[in-house]
Chain A
Amino acid sequence: MTVTASTTPPPAAELPATTSLRPRRRSRGAALPYLLLLPALLLELLVHLVPMVIGVVMSFKELTQFFVRDWGSAPWTGLGNYRVAVRFDAPVGQALLHSFLITCGFTALSVGLSWLLGTAAAILTQQGFRGRALLRGVFLVPYALPVYAAVITWSFMFQRDNGLVNHVLHDQLRLASGHPFWLIGGNSFAALVTVSVWRSWPFAFLCLTAGLQNIPRELYEAAAMDGAGIWQQVRRITLPSLRPVNQVLVLVLFLWTFNDFNTPYVLFGKSAPAAADVISIHIYQSSFITWNFGSGAAMSVLLLLFLLLVTVGYLVATARGRDADA
């Protein structure tokens, strides 16, 4: 996903397909491509773009439950909602900042660990061995399970008195003293990270496995000829070759994890414990529990701006890195 504004398609993709002898099909039915895209465009407009614009408008309004029936009539408040959201010495702003920091920590941990597990699994299954196909299927199970079914199961495993986690940690391994709570209090952060990593790493594994298939075998053969051991080959050939895949993968994982609503919502229910009060749940609560939609919309817009900023910064930084390599 490269966001460059050039209108010319990448030449490499073009050359083998069309030669200069064959004129483009522009003359015949110039409206046709637009007609083909129209349904997709209309749907995206209706469900994503128009609501988003309305969301931005709402963020400038004082939209409480009294105006939900006719939201247009809610009074304007200018930047009021934003001012409240970023006043970090007052309760609302303080809670938002807290939630934002928790989300940053959660995302960093989850993306990092998912990437690590995915990379390890992809590299270790690169060579053929007995049972490899089966193992790949097993690794994809967390990705294939419906989120709610899987996360409900995790919430059962994290139950204090009858869950698997406490049974293993305390009764079997004697690592914990007593049976701690996992879904309320400080431990809930660890529980959330665990479930999130469990869900995300198979996707990393999938993408990286695909990426590994593009590395020419000759590279490894040449390295082996030069006397490089297997670990050296992983470090010198495999990891550098995966860089383009990693650049996309890390961004996608980041966006998914940062915006993830389903995992915390199913794990903790409507009100997440303070230690795991991630931003999507926090905004949901400030909108639907307190019925202050204007304030929720303002927080969402701030979140979107932050994600845009990070994404653009990331794309610029990785593009520059790529140029420096070349």
Chain B
Amino acid sequence: MRETPGFVWTRRIVLTALAAFALAPVYVMLSSSLKPLAEVQDAFHWLPGRLTLRPYVDIWHTVPLAHYFVNSLIVAASSTVVSVLVAVFAAYGVSRFRFRGRRLFTVTVLSTQMFPGILFLLPLFLIFVDIGNATGVALYGSRGGLVLTYLTFSLPFSIWMLVGYFDSIPRELDEAALTDGCGPLGALLRVVVPAAVPGIVAVGVYAFMTAWGEVLFASVMTNDTTRTLAVGLQGYASQTDVYWNQVMAAALVVSVPVVAGFLLLQRYLVAGLTAGAVK
């Protein structure tokens, strides 16, 4: 395409505006987290008048942030591991076998994505309480219940993405492994999984981000000891007198792990999305 000056200028202006829009909250987080309390209570200014790292120290004492952090980490990491495992098996089944109900399975699993979360929030809560009463396995208020819930949130999309990935791996590869005497599971673990590492990484990042960012179920299904960052941070920001510099510092701290992971693995994630969404 030959680019006209009009096009080049449109591009500059529009892309700059979009970048500013995308980054505005990040800038506010960063600059406000370096301001003393008096400055964030006063009218907004783009640059801090006086730089301080105080908020980054205070956040760990004002609220049990480290505790929330550990809870979020345990919940997100466990649900990611289980979700990826389950998705790999399911996607292998859908990609490599033709069986009755295959279509029904994919449609059912994908359509759960469109349910309004609010519709099954309360029933799920009641089921967890019932299971707890019947078997003594505490799901309500525990991290386990949250792990169970979150991994199903990422499952449909993960399976979909992995099916796309597995389909692009030549069948000849796993059939060669089968003739070499591997069982179907051997073929999956020795041939398909190693060839699909980028896709699996993408699914893992997606599952982690889903669990790390969820608010609705976390706010109903957790108690004081299992509270995750999503709930803890919100409580932090809705006190009567909000320490905005601290809240911004905390928001930045909890964002860094996921944003860094996402941007580092962006290429895989985009490729995985492409395999699923653009077919």
Contacts and interface: CB of A to CB of B under 8 A. Distances in A.
A156 B32 contact: yes
B86 A40 contact: yes
Interface in A35-73: 36-37, 39-41, 43-44, 46-52, 54-55, 58, 68, 71
A109 B96 CA distance: 42
B244 to A, nearest CB: 5
A33 to B, nearest CB: 4
B120 A55 contact: yes
Given A39-B90, A40-B87, A269-B238, A47 B148 contact: yes
B225 interface: no
B255 A46 contact: no
Interface string A192-235: 00000010001000110111011000001000100001110100
Interface in A116-164: 117, 120-121, 124-125, 127, 129, 135-150, 152-157, 159, 161-164
B19 interface: yes
B248 interface: yes
A147 B98 contact: no
Contacts of A52: 115, 119-120, 123
B122 A297 contact: yes
Given A43-B151, A49-B112, A266 B15 contact: no
A48 B150 CA distance: 11
A99 interface: no
Contact of B215 (A162, A261, A283): A261
Interface size class of B (residues with CB under 8 A): 35 or more
B270 A206 contact: yes
Q: Is the interface of B mostly helix, strand, loop or mixed?
A: helix
Contacts of B230: 146-148
Contacts of A136: 266
Interface residues of A, number: 116
Contact of A207 (B175, B259, B273): B273
Contact of B15 (A51, A121, A148, A249): A121
Given A30-B99, A50-B127, A127 B3 contact: yes
B23 interface: yes
B1 A51 contact: no
Contact of B28 (A140, A157, A248): A157
Nearest to B18: A121
B237 A261 contact: no
Interface in B238-264: 238, 244, 247-248, 251-252, 254-255, 258-259, 262-263
Nearest to B170: A17
B97 A25 contact: yes
B119 A300 contact: yes
B29 interface: yes
A233 B3 CA distance: 11
Given A40-B86, A124-B11, A284-B118, A156 B247 contact: yes
A230 B97 contact: no
B103 interface: yes
Given A36-B90, A47-B120, A54-B123, A153 B4 contact: no
The CB with the most chain B CB atoms within 10 A, among A36, A46, A262, is that of A36
Nearest to B228: A148
B18 A51 contact: no
Interface string B104-144: 01011111111111111011101100000000000000000
Contacts of B41: 162
A284 B184 CA distance: 46
A178 to B, nearest CB: 13
A47 B184 contact: no
Contacts of B213: 146-148, 262
Contact of A44 (B21, B122, B152, B234): B152
A6 interface: yes
A164 B44 contact: yes
B19 A135 contact: yes
B56 interface: no
8 contacts: A43-B86, A51-B123, A137-B266, A138-B22, A141-B22, A157-B25, A280-B118, A287-B118
Nearest 3 A-B pairs (CB), nearest first? A36-B93, A51-B123, A51-B120
